[in-house]
Amino acid sequence: MYKVRFVNPQKQYADHRDEFIKAFDETLKRGAIVNREELWKFEENFAKFVGVKYAVGVNSGTSALDVALQAAGICPGDEVITVAHTFMATISTIYLTGATPVLIDIGQNFNMDAGLIEQALTSKTKAIMPVHLNGRLCDMEMIMDIAKKKSLIVIEDAAQALGATLKMADGSLKAAGSFGLIGCFSLYFAKVLGGWGNNGIAVTNDLEIARKMKLMRYNGEGRETRHFYHHSHNFLMDNVHAALLDIKLKYLPEWLKRRKEISQRYYEGLSGIKELILPHFDDSRFDDIYTNYVVRVERRDELKKYFDDNELVETLISWPQPTYTEPVMIETKNRWRFGNPNITSLPETEKICKEVISLPMYPELTNKDIDFVIKTLRDFYQK
C-alpha cells in the first residue's frame, strides 16, 4: 500500500456519508430512476455554476462529446481541429462522426497552441475542439476570435477544467465550458466533481442545441412525444447519480479552494529543484483549479519506478506516448492528419510525453501527505 495514494474516494464518501445515503434512499423510495426531478435539479444547478443556460446530463465525458458533436452537426467530410495531447476519447468522438481529426501541437502549459490554428485551416474546417488540461483553460479569447473570424464552431473539451476561469479583456470572468457553442465535462470519480463510476455533462446557451442533445442522449427519442427524431445511443445519466452529484456540487467551491492551497504548498516545497518544471504559469488572466498537479521531470521513468518499488507515492503518467502513435491511430492514418502537412510529429507533445508525471491531488490530501511527497521527490533528486 502506497504511503500517499493518488486519489482517495473513500475519504470523501466518509466525510459526507449521511447525506449520500439519504439522497440515495429518497430517490429510490420515490422510484425516481431515470429522467426525473433529481436529474433536472442537478442540470439546473450545474448550469448556474458554469454560468450558462442549459446542461444535459449523460453517462460519461465521452458521451458528452458524442452528443455535442452530433448536435452541432459535425459529419463526414468535415474537419475538426484539436490536439494530440489528450485522452483518446477527444479524437475518437470526432472520428466516429465521420469527420477528420486535425491535430496541432500544444504549448508548455499542456494546452492547445492557439497560434497554430490558422495554418491548420482548410475549406473543410468546421470546428475547433480545444482541450483544457489539468484545470487550466486554453487561450479561449484568441481561439474564439479565430472562430468568429472564420465562422467556426467551438466545442470545449472541458473534462478537466470545471471551475477554471479566464479574465477577459473587458474585465469579466468566464468559466470553462461557457465560451463555445457547447462545453463538455467528465464527472468521472477522480475529477474535481466526480460521481461513482462514469458520469458526464454537456452545457450550452443555445436552446435548440440543448434540445438536440437531450434527444441524442436517449436514443433520439422525444420523451414527451415518444417519437424518434435521430439515430443515437442511450447515454442518459440516471437519477441516483444526479442526486449524489448535486450534493457534491454544494461542496465544490471549497474543494477547489483546497486544491489551490495544495498546489501552493507543492510550489513552495518543490521550487528550486532544477530537474523539475512546476505547473505554475505567468499569466494573471488564468485562474487554474489543478484537477491534476502535473510536473515535468528529468529521469521520469526512474522516478516513477522509485515511487512504485518502494510503495511511497502513487502517481500517474498522462500520457507516456502521443496519441498518434497508438495502434488505432496508425491503423486509421488515412482518417486524420496533422495541422501542418509538412510535419510528421508534434515536437512539444512528444517532449511532454517523456517528462510528465502527475502527483497526488485531491481535497482530502493532508499537509502531512503533501510534505511527504515533497520530501520523497527531493530525496530522489538529491541522491
For residue 358, is pLDDT > 90?
yes
Residue 254, judged by CB atoms within 10 A of its CB (0-12, 13-18, 19+), counts as exposed
**Over 90: is that where the pLDDT of 224 sits?**
no
pLDDT tens across 245-278, in order? 999 999 999 999 999 999 999 999 999 999 999 9
Q: Which domains does the chain have, with CATH numbers?
A: 9-105+112-248 (3.40.640.10), 253-382 (3.90.1150.10)
Mean pLDDT of 326-341: 97
pLDDT band at 1 (very low <50, low <70, confident <90, very high): confident
Write phi, then psi, for 12 (nearest 5 degrees).
-65, -40
Tell me the pLDDT band of 209, cut-offs 50, 70 and 90.
very high
Long-range contacts of 166-175 (CB under 8 A, 24+ apart): 166/137, 166/140, 166/141, 166/285, 166/286, 166/287, 167/284, 167/285, 167/286, 167/287, 168/141, 169/141, 173/287, 174/51, 174/140, 175/49, 175/50, 175/51
Under the banding of pLDDT at 50, 70 and 90, the label for residue 85 is very high
pTM of the entire structure? Answer: 0.97
pLDDT at 223: 85
Mean pLDDT to the nearest integer, 168-181: 96
Would you say residue 361 has pLDDT above 90?
A: yes
Q: What is the mean pLDDT of residues 269-288?
A: 97
Tell whether the torsion through CA atoms of 106, 108, 111 and 113 is positive or negative. negative
C-alpha span between 58 and 214 (Å, rounded): 9
Mean pLDDT within 121-146: 98
Q: 375-379: long-range contacts (C-beta < 8 A, 24 or more apart)?
A: 376/307, 376/312, 376/313, 377/270, 377/273, 377/276, 377/303, 378/270, 378/273
